[in-house]
Amino acid sequence: MKKTFTVIITMVILILLVSVLSGCNRVGSSMNGSGKIIDQEIKIADFDSLHIEGPFTLEITQSDTFKTVISIDDNLIGRVLVSREHNTLTLNIEAPATFFPTQLKVNIAIPEINSITLAQGAQAKLSGFDYIDNLYLFLSDESNFEGTLDTGLTKLSSDSSSQARLIGTASSLELDGRKSSKLYLEVFEVKNAHVRLREASEATLNVNGNLDVNLSEESKVYYLGNPIFSNTSISGGSTMIHK
């Protein structure tokens, strides 16, 4: 009798655990998106830099005025944290960040852009800008950036399997890639470039001026154009190939 009672209690506990776990994963719970997408405009202005952490997908365009619109499930809008400190707009997710929106898109219209930081799998696409004097890009944690731009200086730092694809031109490029970063700049025409790649990172470049290259730990550079090599260091099984 006592054994039978123990078995019944154990079965009840298992049933309750299954019910709780199923409830955590069902659509419309506090962790998952309801499927009803809303567009929430954020009244915020006077920034020229972005700091984005989490599974956001951004569209960044130029405009005379500021406008930021977040598209997300209606039951998850409260989990998105928005702040501005000095000239930087920050977007991230309220902890714990393990939630599953149907979509998490942000459209940002901004007069000028100076720097973009993407982390924790964030994705961003930039287009429609006139000439940008200096643009600083910082990518980490499998983040992804695509941009069409014409700049004086582009400084790109990439880490932890992040990727970047650039189209356009730059007078000067400073490139730093680590931990299996992939940087596709074959249609980004550059006059002068300083490139450092480490830890199995790869870059494709299009340079017709001075090119400084420092490659280590099985990294690769593929290059187009006719650059002038000044300072070159290739070690640890790394390679540089003209396409």
Q: Which residue has the higher pLDDT, 184 or 230?
A: 184
CA distance 20 to 149: 50
- Whether residue 213 sits in one domain with residue 171: yes
- Whether residue 145 sits in one domain with residue 43: no
Q: Which of 71, 104, 130 is where one domain is finished? A: 130
193-201 mean pLDDT: 98
Q: How confident is the model at residue 30 (pLDDT cuts 50, 70, 90)?
A: low
Supply φ then ψ for residue 2, to 5 degrees. -60, -40
Q: How many domains does the chain have?
A: 3
- Whether residue 102 sits in one domain with residue 17: no
Element spanning 157, H or E: strand 144-158
Q: Is 179 left (phi over 0), alpha (psi -120 to 50) or beta?
A: left
Q: Is the pLDDT of residue 21 over 90?
A: no
> How many C-beta atoms surround the C-beta of residue 221 within 10 A?
26
pLDDT in tens, 138-188: 999 999 999 999 999 999 999 999 999 999 999 999 999 999 999 999 999
CA distance 198 to 170: 23
- Whether residue 162 sits in one domain with residue 119: no
Query: Per the omega criterion (within 30 degrees of 0), is the bond before 227 cis?
Result: no
Q: What is the pLDDT of residue 31?
A: 73
- Whether residue 107 sits in one domain with residue 67: yes
Q: Which residue has the higher pLDDT, 8 or 184?
A: 184
- Whether residue 174 sits in one domain with residue 200: yes
CA distance 222 to 233: 15
Burial 121-141 (b: 16+ CB within 10 A, else e): bbbbebeebeebeebbbbbbb
- Whether residue 159 sits in one domain with residue 103: no
Task: State which residues form the domain around 230.
Answer: 137-243
- Whether residue 143 sits in one domain with residue 77: no
CA distance 14 to 68: 46
- Whether residue 123 sits in one domain with residue 195: no
The answer to whether the pTM exceeds 0.85 is yes
Q: Taking the CA of residue 76 as centre, how many other CA atoms within 13 Å lie in the half-sphere pointing to its CB?
A: 29
CB 181 within 8 Å of CB 200: no
Tell me, what DSSP letter sits at residue 32?
B
